[in-house]
Chain A
């Protein structure tokens, strides 16, 4: 009989857990997402007290504790406030597939909004071609491909004719 040393053998068993679920978007997020899907528009919500325009829209302003009810259409253009060039094969949790590195993604404040949105940026992974403060526009999928989710955005694209500030 083949005797193993039970004092030193370590056992470590690989396992997987799969957790399906459903998520209710709610009234405000549903309106935001249907506007995006059906009309290709971004809408935010304005606080009647501090006038802050929040995206995605939510039922109350966290700072003022009042109900938000003034809908505001936002621009599809905005300013990059932060970005990264990703060198890791970041897994998209919604598909389980990796985004192929290197790729650029960034955080953009759409004109008219006080909040930001994060997505892929369609530039080469090159620090001469992307910077904080760069002007961007949103590129959406065609109407028939949109499903009512931020994945309806293909990417941000720099507005033409910009030079990196020295």
Chain B
């Protein structure tokens, strides 16, 4: 990178299925105020504002125009970004690149979603090709269900393993004051929850949440002058899959796919041999239980077909050797436009030691966050307490 970039502040709203008490601007403003307070800044200190959400999920376009006031963007440079489920991380990527390139010193990044206001299933069906597969589109649940049946057939995993992921996420969410689904559930509860699309049950899926997250990025000088605990963005990378090719079903595949290609590039840049040793915590984008176990494998935390064993061993518990999603993850809170930014922000909170009830007990110096969306693409962010590694 031309210049080092740090996360110098951030904040989030509380998350819920209903937020009729606020409009989109009021909700976004909650997160912006929290981030400014955390960074001990005012809007006058901010050079540019980047904002994004899922296009049309709230029934409105051009949200950068609608929200100029409440986002603090009035009169400032900036842009709106819309890259699907990954958008929150893409916004941080755009902010980081502008600072690294020397164009700005302090950038406010905002991701939000007011899911209750639109028909997300209908809008998502627009991701499918109109003449090839759209008649079967309309819900992410079917996609993850096929991931589940394929995963079980390939490796011998059982529905119980998915239930373990469901329990881990919601029990961790109970420690996170901002999480949406804080559920005191057992494996039995997960297995007895309503079947949506075999093998995906109610408790295997993320909720539809409303909420916002804001993160303030700074250049090295600003970070060192003004921030007690800067968290450095050490690497960031993105990769797409090919349209129409749903590669996770072909478990014998050896060519790199979006997630493995992205991770490999990033690990190479950072000199990472063993990601489970290098990183102290992971915040990954898992809209369904099955996706979490596939992420373990794609990130190289275990071998192919061993993700469910890692879950079974409890290795990824909040107090385990490879903590994954101590925040409760997307399974507990999914305000889509903010979800990928929340992964980065939660990872930063862990490095700062400011995660509160869901702080992992081991020391955290390095963290990895992933994003996930569209017809399979990812943005990955590696964070560190130091600029030296």
Residues of A within 8 A of B (CB): 10, 12, 15, 17, 23, 25, 29, 33, 54-56, 58, 62-63, 81-88, 90-95, 105-107, 115-120, 127, 131-133, 149-151
Contacts and interface: CB of A to CB of B under 8 A. Distances in A.
B134 interface: yes
Nearest to A91: B138
A88 B196 contact: yes
A10 B22 CA distance: 9
B82 interface: no
A107 B195 contact: no
A55, A117, A118, A119: most-surrounded residue (chain B CB, <10 A): A118
B145 A84 contact: yes
B141 A88 contact: yes
A33 B198 CA distance: 31
A84 B200 contact: yes
Given A92-B138, A118-B133, A107 B244 contact: no
Interface string B308-322: 000000000000000
Contacts of B133: 117-118, 150
User: Chain B binding site: helix, strand, loop or mixed by DSSP?
Assistant: mixed
A94 B135 contact: yes
Contacts of A23: 130-131
A86 B145 CA distance: 9
Contacts of A87: 194-198
A74 to B, nearest CB: 14
B255 A93 contact: no
Nearest to A33: B131
Nearest to B154: A132
Contacts of B245: 54, 62, 115
Interface residues of B, number: 45
A93 B142 contact: no
A85 B159 CA distance: 14
Contacts of A105: 136, 142
Given A10-B20, A93-B125, A93-B138, A150 B132 contact: yes
A149 to B, nearest CB: 6
B249 interface: yes
Contacts of B246: 107, 116
Contacts of B122: 91, 93
A159 B250 CA distance: 22
B59 interface: yes
Interface string B134-169: 111111011001111110111000000000000000
Given A23-B130, A88-B141, A131-B153, A151 B244 contact: no
Contact of A63 (B137, B148, B242): B242
A27 to B, nearest CB: 13
